[in-house]
Structure 1
Amino acid sequence: MVATAVGLLTAVTVHEASHAFTARWQGDGLACGLGRCTLNPIRHLDPVGTVMMLVVGFGWGKPVPVRENWLRSGPRTGGALVSLAGPASNFAFAAVASLPLRFDVLPVRLSVPVGMDPLQLAGYLLATIVLLNILLGVFNLLPIAPLDGFKVALGILPRQAAVNFARLEPYGPGILMLLLMVGYLNFAPFGLGDLLNPVVTFVMRTLVIGP
């Protein structure tokens, strides 16, 4: 549980700070003015999301405020860049953090090691951090509001298609909750985890073992 909490805290902090830094780069300093351009995790914690991290092992950070009309590249492209920065930072962080595992400096462990061997524990902690950063990155790329993938999709779709797709935004949270509940309660042959797990596993294996 400690490794999961550390992994989620790291992933959420990197993710949200990257949104804030990218928004400032795009010309909107609101988030930085609110103290979000920092890797101090306390600045990015959401009370409910933090409780969820501790209770169910997954949660979220405090959303970063962005004034899309202030963005240098415009609301669509600029908004997509700010949104993409979160998942991209998780993948970049996972790639760097995985180096000790890939080059056998630490053993790769995805289950709690028996005993208190420092190298085994360090390998377990680092592998958990890498895995959760990948998971958060992949999950947030789903094109469902309010996830980052929705704004990314709006930025890359043709304008009319983006206008039509934007109409789904109010229904996004309900769709996302339905997908999560279907998987959790086994109402369907497959759930959200069945869609995400192959991608997460592929990225994890690529980073830790190599292509």
Structure 2
Amino acid sequence: MADFLWYPLQDLPFIFLVLIIAFTVHEFAHAFSAYKFGDRTAYDAGRVTLNPRVHLDVLGTILLLVVGFGWAKPVPVNRGRFKYPRLMGIVVSAVGPLSNLLIAILGILAVYIVNQTGYIDSASHGVQQAIGHFSYYLIFLNLLLFLFNLIPIPPLDGYRIIQDLVPLKVRLKMDQHVQWGMIIFLLIVFIPALRQHTLDPLFAYRYDIFIYFARKFELIFNAVNWGKLWVDF
């Protein structure tokens, strides 16, 4: 493992692929929903696409690998073009994190199917490791993005949702202090002492998050050894 990386060096190919999927689908969900609600801003900027090149931010991706935090290019949205700006604004903000939750759920379902077919038992150790590592990061990182983006601190989606929920007077006051919120957010991310009591616990409970969602699926699909693919973690 390279000491300067947040994740194991040998897992970088899986993480890159997962980040491409997660960031692309997240930003596409914002852009597509805004376009469907009548705002062409993202559409005219070429963001209503699943082409990763228009969504990925080089610095944001590098920082995610180095410090465990990163971002994609934000989608431009003009809420004034919506028929119902507040309601549709909430939906447009929420569909990004929800798209990551959907990917994680589909990942859990895929693990169930792979286990049920028995393919993983007959595959070579290398194939088992590859499938296990990819599914691990696909589910974990998308669940993390889902939870992380709902934190009500700018510039995260959770903050935009709160903005559209509160009365107009409160929103105007929030807008006056948005720059301080972004500074606090960056301090939390990059100062170890602050991060230790905020973001790090979220990373520490990654396997507990796995188990929670896996058990919910067990109620539907019957008991299955969800940990079979993740024995190395």
Task: List aligned pairs for 1:158-169, cutoff 5 A.
Answer: 158-169=167-178
The superposition leaves residues 174-193 of structure 1 with CA deviations (integer Å, 9 ceiling, x where unpaired) of 010121234xx235862322
Counterpart residue type for residue 74 of structure 2? P
Query: 2:187·2:194 contact (CA, 8 Å) conserved in 1?
Result: no
Q: Distance in 1 between matches of 2:205 and 2:65?
A: 25
**Which structure's CA Rg is the greater one?**
2
Match of 2:46 among 30, 35, 42: 35
Match of 1:99 among 98, 105, 109: 109
Change (3 A) 1:188 1:51: closer
Answer yes or no: is 1:18 the counterpart of 2:29: yes
Partner of 1:136: 145
Change (3 A) 1:158 1:54: same
Query: 2:163·2:174 contact (CA, 8 Å) conserved in 1?
Result: yes
Task: List aligned pairs for 1:105-144, cutoff 5 A.
Answer: 105=116, 116-144=125-153
Matched residues, number: 200
Q: Distance in 1 between matches of 2:125 and 2:82?
A: 50
Where do 5+ consecutive residues of structure 1 fail to align?
Answer: 108-114
Displacement of 1:140: 0.8
Answer yes or no: is 1:171 the counterpart of 2:180: yes
Partner of 1:61: 72
TM-score (norm 1): 0.82
Query: 2:189·2:195 contact (CA, 8 Å) conserved in 1?
Result: no
Per mean C-alpha deviation after superposition, the further-off stretch among 97-106 and 24-33 is 97-106
Displacement of 1:67: 1.2
Displacement of 1:11: 0.9
Answer yes or no: is 1:204 the counterpart of 2:200: no
The superposition leaves residues 143-202 of structure 1 with CA deviations (integer Å, 9 ceiling, x where unpaired) of 1111111110112224443333333312122010121234xx2358623222x3477555
Query: 1:13·1:41 contact (CA, 8 Å) conserved in 2?
Result: yes
Over aligned residues, Cα RMSD in angstroms? 2.6
TM-score (norm 2): 0.75
Q: Distance in 1 between matches of 2:44 and 2:131?
A: 36
Partner of 1:77: 87
* Identity value in percent: 34
Q: Distance in 2 between matches of 1:86 and 1:145?
A: 15
Partner of 1:110: none
Counterpart residue type for residue 95 of structure 2? A
Where do 5+ consecutive residues of structure 2 fail to align?
Answer: 1-11, 119-123, 218-233
Change (3 A) 1:7 1:57: farther
Match of 2:158 among 149, 160, 184: 149
